[in-house]
Amino acid sequence: MITPALREALRARGDETAVLCHTGAGARAGLAGLPTRPSDLVLDLDAHPLGAPLDLPGGERPEAGLVAVVAATTTDLRRALTTAVHLPRAAHVLVALVAVPGHQDPPLPASPGMGQWRDLEEVRVRRADRQGWLCELFFPNGVDTAEVLDAVLHGTRGRRRGLAVAPLAALSGPEGALWRPGDTGATGVPATGPVPLRRVTPVADLALRVTARGGRAAWEDAAVPALDRATTGADAWADLAGEDGHARLREARSAAGPDPVSAIAPVDELSVNPVGFTKAEKGPLGDLTAHGDRAVVRAGDKVLVDVAPDGTVTDVDLARLRHLRGVRVAWSGHTGPSAAVRAVASLAAGGVPLLSGPVPAWAAGLGRPLGDLLEGAADADLTDRLRREEHSVRLRRAALRTHGLRTRWRSLAAEAGVPVPPAPRISVILCTRRPEMVGFALAQIARQRGVDLEVVLTLHGFPADLPGVAAAVAEAAATGLRIVVHEADADQVFGSVLNDSAARASGDLLAKWDDDDWYGPDHLADLALARAYSGAELVGTGQDFVYLQEVDVTVWRSRESETATRFIAGGTILTDRVVLEETGGFRPLPRAIDTQLLLAVTRGGGRIHRTHGLGYVLRRTGGGHTWSEDMAYFLHNYARQWAGWRPSSLLEGEPAEFGRSITENTGGQR
């Protein structure tokens, strides 16, 4: 399907030049046997160095009749988007995706919205064989090719573009796109600089030069600092085996400073992430090992994934591994240390349960937290459904927080002394009618880690000077927790109270919190992570763990996680302030407030993502819940149940309640 479409496009382009590009393993096959002309260009986007312009007719602003990009996967297309800044304008742009994972939306282009596409003549989007897509756009006066590729990628993720990566980057070298995938704002520059100006302002705040090895040219831009990194092939085993191997290894790592993690090209979390994770504890165990001259993941004699020489793992690769209960890392057969670390970090970021023997010293770039998790796991952890998912969550946390694109570039900025904006603050909205639950809820919030947060505590129908309440607030504030206290009238409708609470919040993100449920210390950090990799307007967890207080039983429902959904637990909602504004806020109703917000988000074209539910326990008592299902519903819908309170190990127990000792001594509340 792809090759015939390209052949037809070449016939229709007239006398103009065609640029045929490919990216990712096997994508070049789609360009085989095409009727090209001597003036046409066939380009490997993975090999083209950033900062090297194409040799095309047309001077500084060349144009082509056709630019076609064949990408093996969405991950490859995102990487190629960075290199695409060198592609010419074109009247006809064809984008082919050879394969996409089943959970991905069709690549319906999203117009940039500034009038650039007013002369668009035609758009065609159709299936390419069983797993791929073809997208073609026709502009009689030409269009910026990188802009079209960006629009196609945007279409696969819904209306949200995703979080920007800071700082603005200039890139030089053959693997520059590995360090900044999916960024049309990145600029290619020569190895010596300088960074171009837009009027009087540099177009980037930090330059990164990626080179194979050997002496690096002097950097000639005093206004923009530059850092150097080695390509993944610079420490290839084939080179390190020679007489000067140790010297080459030191040379490859010297530019990255003392931290071996910072020498590793990051994981693109927008395409390599746990979305699509499955409960597959009964599946076979795969192996990341050598097969001939390459690294592969195989199950028995069947090769499931060929790992790219640079260690890249794609979204399609992850989809091919979801049926495995896990993958055993053999630490052999990789191109070299950097490629091996990238592959293992990518699998972990994708939520693939991994285990291994001792991590070799040359793999220090993994980071100690991720290495410890790999060494500490056993096959028995992967054959139990709950323990398997717990291990997967720990791995993905460590990998994404250590090797994620945003994390890496914040680290590079710090190394170069370039300031970046602070991480978004989360405002926790806690509204309660029960004075006796204030200390319990604040203790859950105060132990949150890895996020900048405040809590807006709304006392619905009672004053803040009640002894138990005042003591709990004081004890929570003593931990450094920022608390805004608001008293709402008892007769004010609940939805209106929530809107007043949101108006008092100063954070960029708003998280809803129930006063009687249990939350693990990484609850908010996990939601923030899911927001980053899912691109959803609203994220939350399922009601997986439920404690039935009347009968003292905990049930685990083991629901599907890391998926788009229409329903999440209301006490776990995290969304941007602007999303709440766009949906009209909370409806002024006494109940079903959370459901109404979820409906409003989906009606407005937004997406809801459900991440894992292992760090949250819903408490069910005899009554007073806005969700009307009775206890029998939970007792007949579960994967496991236990007597007593039995959360996931990710909850890390229960914190001591604030204000209890003081109120007991004063005879106050509780």
Across the range 396-408, mean pLDDT stands at: 97
| pLDDT at residue 631 in the model | 76
What is the CATH code for 425-541+569-611+657-663?
Answer: 3.90.550.10
334 — pLDDT class (breaks 50, 70, 90): confident
The Cα–Cα gap between 26 and 366 comes to: 28
Compute, in degrees rounded to 10, the torsion defined by CA atoms 206, 212, 216, 217: -80
Question: pLDDT tens digits for 3-30?
Answer: 999 999 999 988 899 999 999 999 999 9
Across the range 40-58, mean pLDDT stands at: 88
Q: Bigger pLDDT: 114 or 7?
A: 7
| pLDDT at residue 523 in the model | 98
Q: Is the pLDDT confidence value at 626 over 60?
A: no
Across the range 70-86, mean pLDDT stands at: 95
60 — pLDDT class (breaks 50, 70, 90): low
Across the range 318-340, mean pLDDT stands at: 93
Across the range 164-184, mean pLDDT stands at: 94
Across the range 379-400, mean pLDDT stands at: 97
The Cα–Cα gap between 359 and 377 comes to: 12
The Cα–Cα gap between 319 and 414 comes to: 35
Q: Bigger pLDDT: 420 or 625?
A: 420
Lowest-pLDDT choice from 127-131, 154-158, 202-206, 598-602: 154-158
Determine the 3-state secondary structure of 70 from DSSP.
strand
| pLDDT at residue 665 in the model | 44
| pLDDT at residue 241 in the model | 66
| pLDDT at residue 669 in the model | 37
115 — pLDDT class (breaks 50, 70, 90): confident
Instruction: Delimit the CATH 3.40.50 region(s) of the chain.
Output: 2-162
Q: What is the mean pLDDT of the chain?
A: 92
Question: pLDDT tens digits for 131-143?
Answer: 999 999 999 999 9
Tokens found for residue 194 = 């300088």
Q: Is the pLDDT confidence value at 484 over 70?
A: yes
Question: pLDDT tens digits for 224-246?
Answer: 999 999 999 888 887 776 655 55
The Cα–Cα gap between 460 and 101 comes to: 47
Tokens found for residue 253 = 């790592």
| pLDDT at residue 112 in the model | 86
The candidate with the shortest Cα–Cα distance to 439, out of 162, 661, 150, is 661
Instruction: Delimit the CATH 3.90.550.10 region(s) of the chain.
Output: 425-541+569-611+657-663
**Angle made by CA atoms 278, 280, 283, in degrees to the nearest 5:** 145
Question: pLDDT tens digits for 590-618?
Answer: 999 999 999 999 999 999 999 999 999 99
Q: Bigger pLDDT: 256 or 60?
A: 60
Across the range 183-189, mean pLDDT stands at: 93
| pLDDT at residue 342 in the model | 97
| pLDDT at residue 400 in the model | 98
Q: Bigger pLDDT: 138 or 214?
A: 138
668 — pLDDT class (breaks 50, 70, 90): very low
Backbone angles phi, psi at 629, to 5 degrees: -60, 135
DSSP letters of 244-291? THHHHHHHHHHTTTT-GGGGSPPB-TTTSSSTT----TTSPEEEEEEE
Lowest-pLDDT choice from 160-174, 236-250, 526-540: 236-250
Decide: 451 and 528 in contact? Cβ < 8 Å. Answer: yes
Look up tokens 């790592």; give the residue. 253
Name the burial class of residue 243, with classes exposed (0-12), middle (13-18) and buried (19+) by CB atoms within 10 angstroms of its CB.
exposed
What is the CATH code for 2-162?
Answer: 3.40.50
The candidate with the shortest Cα–Cα distance to 440, out of 480, 476, 414, is 476
633 — pLDDT class (breaks 50, 70, 90): confident
Q: In what helix (H) or strand (E) does residue 446 lie, and over which residues does it extend?
A: helix 438-446
- Name the β-bridge partners of 126: 134
Q: Is the pLDDT confidence value at 582 over 90?
A: yes
Sequence length of the chain is 670
Backbone angles phi, psi at 122, to 5 degrees: -160, 145
